[in-house]
Amino acid sequence: MPVNERGTLPTALFAGFAVSAVGGPLALATLYLPDAVGSRAISSMGLVALAGAALFAAPLLIWWRYSAQIASDGGLYTFVERAAGRRVALVQGWIWTLSYFLYLPFTVTYLVYDQLPQSFPGIVPHQRLLELALPIAIAGAVVAAERLVFVLVAAIAVVQVVLTLVFAWVLVRHAGVHPGAFRLHSNGPSVARGIGNVALLFTCASLPLFLGGEVSGGGRTVRRTILAAVVIAAALIVVVAVPMAALGDSQLAALA
């Protein structure tokens, strides 16, 4: 699809999807950031988070260039077809389809058995039913009520941004602002490993690219929105990382 052709997905809904696709700011900041940084680099967490976001600029630039030429509803298949031809794109497409067919039930199982019981202990007797019903419900909702799904995802993205800011404020009240978070306190390899891990947290920011042909405004809107989503997510995890750097391993474990 030409980059100047207009799709039907409003920019606001696409932006909500893009912010959520990065991983969800609240999940990134509370669940994944401490593990990504590593216990040996916690005292330099602000530096690690900022440098990790900067490192991610390399793949982001590649995606930016691609989306200037391709704004298609063909998903990743279209990108691979342009780069390597139809046969390779078909192989990649089948691999991608199979991987997501496995990814959805795996993720639901993780949530049902490891995450949800911590907040909702009452679901334990119904875990097996939820494990089967949730993937079917999610797939059915996307197929039957696509616009409603995007509205819900956008609403969740707004809530996550607000809750992440609240979480950062609570951390600042508890631990204070830690200026040393942007200094190198630990050995270089630990910090370098943490920077690479933080950069990987943004990998799913590529997902909005595959909706290019659906978006009102085409490739230009896609590029601006993905950039804004990554900047928002990066800013939020850096804001959280600064007071987190003053916490010890036991306190971070208690937060998780």
From 50-59, 83-92, 130-139, the region with the lowest mean pLDDT: 130-139
Q: What CA–CA distance (Å, rounded) separates 31 from 216?
A: 33
Residue 111 confidence (pLDDT): 83
Cα Rg of the chain, angstroms = 20
Position 80 scores a pLDDT of: 82
Local confidence band at 252 (pLDDT 50, 70, 90 cut-offs): low
pLDDT > 80? residue 68: no
Distance CA 209, CA 87 (A): 21
Q: Say how far apart CA 237 and CA 240 lie, in whole Å.
A: 5
Of the ranges 80-94, 133-147, 150-164, 167-181, which is most confident?
150-164
pLDDT for residue 176: 75
Q: Which phi and psi angles does 135 have, rounded to 5°? A: -60, -40
CA dist 2 and 140 (Å) reads 30
| Termini Cα distance of the chain | 44
At 124 the pLDDT is 83
How far, in Å, CA of 69 to CA of 211, rounded?
Answer: 14
Average pLDDT over the chain reads 82
State yes or no: pLDDT of 70 exceeds 80.
no
Instruction: Please choose, from the candidates 96, 50, 42, the residue with its C-alpha nearest in 3D space to the C-alpha of residue 231.
Output: 50
Judged against a pLDDT cut of 50, whether residue 137 lies above it is answered with: yes
Please tell me the predicted confidence (pLDDT) of residue 150.
87
Give the C-alpha separation, 92 to 207, whole Å: 15
C-beta of residue 12 within 8 angstroms of C-beta of residue 154: yes
Q: What is the pLDDT of residues 163-208, one digit of tens each?
A: 999 998 988 888 777 777 788 776 778 889 999 999 998 988 888 8
pLDDT for 1: 40
pLDDT in tens, 96-132: 888 877 877 788 888 888 878 877 888 888 888 888 8
Let me know if 44 is exposed, middle or buried by CB neighbors in 10 A (0-12, 13-18, 19+): buried
pTM, two decimals, is 0.77
Average pLDDT over every residue of 74-103: 81
pLDDT above 90 covers what percent of the chain? Answer: 18
Q: Is the pLDDT of residue 155 over 90?
A: yes
If you average pLDDT over residues 234-241, what whole number do you get?
91
Whether the pLDDT of residue 33 is over 80: the answer is yes
Enclosing H/E stretch for 56 = none
Mean pLDDT across 10-30: 86
| Domains of the chain by residue range | 11-73+146-255
Quickly state the pLDDT bin for 5 (edges 50, 70, 90): very low
Confidence check: pLDDT of 94 > 80: yes
The pLDDT value recorded for residue 248 is 58
